[in-house]
Amino acid sequence: MTTPSAAKGEPGLGSKRGTERLDGLTKIRRKEAGSLPVLIGLVVIWGIFASLNENFLSARNLTNLVLQIAAMGTMSVGVVLVLLLGEIDLSVGAVSGLSAAVMAILNVEHGASAWVSIAAAVASGAAIGALQGAWSTRFRVPSFVVTLAGLLAFQGALLWALGSTGTVNVYDPVIVSLAGTFLPPWIGWTLAALGMAAILLAEGLSARRRSRAGLAPFSRIAIGTRIALVWILAPAVVALLDGDRGVPLALVLLLGVVIGFDFLLRRTRFGRHVFAVGGNAEAARRAGIRADGIRVAVFTLSGALAACGGVLATSRLLAVNQSSGGGDVLLNAIAAAVIGGTSLFGGQGTAWSALTGALVLGSISNGMDLLARPSSVKFMVTGGALLLAVTIDALGRAERKKAGRV
């Protein structure tokens, strides 16, 4: 298991140019400090809301916060993949709603089993993503335009699928259990122990790989920080959530998606190709990488993850209606990825940024609700956070370009 701070910002430190010692401020300016700035920001946000409302850090409220961000975080992982290519997917919200409708209609109106219905929903999202990726690649239409058209078309398809009723209530226990299941304490503590053991194993294997490749090792401070982060957070989170209903299954599913795609991006050839295409598509193509195939695959995964997010949202809300996937769903999915540290310029980011960004947005929304602030204030604060993140991204890119790292 790897931690958010391990995912990006440090890979270049082993290169010849990366062996120079950079102070913390310089790393932050160049966006080479991983998720540390986001985590610091999250601590500040939690401190502010905790001082304004004593219920913010209660076990019940933080459990609700986890349930609220599960769908957003899952969808945001797909957005991260697309942003790593320097592309954009504006249809993830609409795809999540339409895919959820496919699941609900099959399960409720046609009597299909829960697992068949869920599989059909995910397959629908993947097919839509593949279609959009192939269309953009084949006809060289910017992904912004293709997915904008998809946003409109799939919202219309959702309205058509739901028909005159406009709402399908979901009662299947399997679907409901995705967001309604809370693990007994012994399972939560077992998962925490596995995570604590996994970080030790991951750091050991990473050190061995770098040694064999002749790369400079990461600093002991960086390694110690990552290990300490997991060893402190894992038991703290389990103990806190056990104070309410227990560790939600939705959190385990979200962490599974994040960890799985973090491994895919950082430890597989496919992941290296995604970063290569996002960093410089022409150079990647000359190196023999099938850039078009990578784009189609990434959009397919984005569509599938949007569908997964729609399934989790339906499980929590127990219904699909005409507003499913609408409202601020798209905004939050993209904003979470960017606020978490994924670059809009491509080639830089991590699956963990979806989780940290979702926590930031979810905390802002949750805290505003506790303080009874209107939606207008929430939108303005979220917009300000997004603008700040994008500005930092642009300034960091300029710093790296000036230093010859881009």
- How far apart (Å, rounded) are the C-alpha atoms in residues 80 and 70? 15
- How far apart (Å, rounded) are the C-alpha atoms in residues 156 and 178? 27
Kindly give the confidence (pLDDT) of every residue in the chain, 406 residues in length, as a single tens digit, with 9 standing for 90 and above: 444 444 444 444 334 444 444 455 455 454 555 567 788 888 899 999 999 999 999 999 999 999 999 999 999 999 999 999 999 999 999 999 999 999 999 999 999 999 999 999 999 999 999 999 999 999 999 999 999 999 999 999 999 999 887 899 999 999 999 999 999 999 999 999 999 999 999 888 888 888 888 888 878 888 888 899 899 999 999 999 999 999 999 999 999 999 999 999 999 999 999 999 998 888 998 999 999 999 999 999 999 999 999 999 999 999 999 999 998 899 899 999 998 889 888 888 899 999 999 999 999 999 999 988 888 888 888 888 888 878 877 777 677 677 665 5
Per-residue confidence (pLDDT) for residue 311, from 0 to 100: 97
Which residues, in sequence order, are bridge partners of residue 169? Answer: 319
Report how far Cα 390 is from the mean position of its chain's Cα atoms.
17
- At position 403, the amino acid (one-letter code) is A
Per-residue confidence (pLDDT) for residue 21, from 0 to 100: 43
Angle at 394 (CA atoms; ends 393, 395), nearest 5 degrees: 95
Structure tokens at 228: 């300490």
Q: 224 vs 8, 22, 194, 204, 379, CA distance in Å?
A: 16, 18, 18, 12, 38
- How far apart (Å, rounded) are the C-alpha atoms in residues 258 and 269? 18
Structure tokens at 59: 């076990």
352 near 76, Cβ under 8 Å?
Answer: no
SS3 annotation, 130-189? HHHHHHHHHHCCCHHHHHHHHHHHHHHHHHHHHCCCCEEECCCHHHHHHHHCEECHHHHH
Per-residue confidence (pLDDT) for residue 68, from 0 to 100: 93
How many Cβ atoms from other residues are within 10 Å of residue 219's Cβ?
A: 12
Per-residue confidence (pLDDT) for residue 33, from 0 to 100: 53
120 near 66, Cβ under 8 Å?
Answer: no
- How far apart (Å, rounded) are the C-alpha atoms in residues 72 and 45? 19
Report how far Cα 319 is from the mean position of its chain's Cα atoms.
23
Per-residue confidence (pLDDT) for residue 7, from 0 to 100: 40
Q: DSSP class of residue 118?
A: H
Per-residue confidence (pLDDT) for residue 18, from 0 to 100: 42
